[in-house]
Amino acid sequence: MSKNGLLLVNLGSPKSPSTKDVKTYLKEFLSDQNVVTLPKWFWQPLLRGMILPMRTWRSATYYRHMWTQAGSPLTVYTEMMQRKVQSILSDWDIQFAMNYGGPTITEKMKLMHQNGDAQIIVLPLFPNYTQSTHDTIIEKVKATGIPAYIIKNFYDQPRYQQILAAQVDESYVRKNYDAVIFSYHGIPMSMINKGDPYEKECQATTAGVLKYIQQVPKEKVFTVFQSKFGPMPWLKPYLKNTLMEIAAMGKRNVLIVTPSFVEDCLETIEENDVQNYQTFRSSGGKVFDAVPPMNASDDFCQFIAELSQKKLAAYRGNANE
């Protein structure tokens, strides 16, 4: 009997925090032309000759710091999400894949096809669409030749916004915060200038969540971008600069919200909890707390299950028109 399939796709993680495995992962990730759009003839010699040798050992140190006995937090939580959604959608086939590293999108799509999945939904685990996260996933899915419906974003779903708002409220009431900073993963301005909708979707995410927040005064909310890479201009304002500026203004206690990251990863554990925390403290800040990501929470897994059912019904309806 045929069934529906759902493939959850996350960014990926090295196999281990060893220098060798981190280098392999970074090479695949930074060779993706949807991530780094520079011409290959220019970028590849730079990547192999300078960036990988300089970046790998530092990244491996970060990965070792965040690694758990069960493995990379991103992988652990993605597996947990897959199991929880499978328990909710018991008559579906729920799988997960990684855009970089493994398990690969290709092998999981083929497995689902072999399993007899009649209709497959692919859900990239990024609330906001951008070329750098989504386009390679879409290309890999299409390259299999197996028909699938792709959910390109979910930032505007009321239930998602309500879950995030409840998390923010729950964290905010614990202390007297001077600022609540919504920090999204940045992308190069060159992508925005070519029409990428990411910035508008991020601003709309903050605005949508604020409709449901009960405890946070809107004047305390900032929207910023983090994780800048390379010398070219990226989306502003940058989180690091904002932290220094608000500390100088006397705002000593901040709460960070990271909607781009539905699960703990290098950016939340190492970049924010260590590097950006140190920046804020050295600038005169005192309290630097973060709202935990969804991390396969029951509410988020229920939302994913309901979103998949709703989207599949909509796709079927459009196909029948």
* DSSP assignment string, 64-108: HHH-BTTB-HHHHHHHHHHHHHHHHSTTSEEEEEEEESSSBHHHH
Question: What domain count does the chain have?
Answer: 2
Same domain, 212 and 250: yes
Binding residues: 185, 267
Cα–Cα nearest to 180, from 171, 189, 188: 171
End-to-end, the C-alpha distance of the chain in Å comes to 26
Same domain, 16 and 145: yes
pLDDT beyond 80 at 320: no
CB burial of residue 53 (10 Å; 0-12, 13-18, 19+): exposed
Same domain, 29 and 89: yes
CB atoms within 10 A of CB 68: 10
Same domain, 69 and 212: no
Binding residues for Fe(2+): 185, 267
Same domain, 40 and 144: yes
φ and ψ at residue 205, rounded to 5 degrees: -65, -50
Same domain, 271 and 303: no
CATH number at residue 9: 3.40.50.1400
Tokens 């459009």, located at residue: 318
Same domain, 167 and 269: yes
Same domain, 135 and 53: yes
Identify whether 127 is preceded by a cis peptide bond (ω within 30 of 0): no
Same domain, 311 and 241: no
Same domain, 143 and 185: no
Instruction: Report the pLDDT averaged over residues 228-238.
Output: 93
The pair of structure tokens assigned to 108 is 């999981």
Reported confidence tier of residue 316, pLDDT bands at 50, 70, 90? confident
Whole-model pTM: value is 0.96
Instruction: Report the pLDDT averaged over residues 24-30.
Output: 97
Across the chain, where does the E strand assignment appear? 3-12, 93-100, 117-124, 149-150, 179-185, 221-226, 253-257, 287-290
| Cα 151 to Cα 147: distance, rounded to the nearest angstrom | 13
The pLDDT score that the predictor gives to residue 321 is 52
pLDDT in tens, 55-68: 999 999 999 999 99
Same domain, 118 and 8: yes
The pLDDT score that the predictor gives to residue 35 is 95
Same domain, 68 and 9: yes
> What residue numbers bound the domain in which 32 lies?
3-154+297-320
How much of the chain, in percent, has pLDDT values that exceed 90? Answer: 95
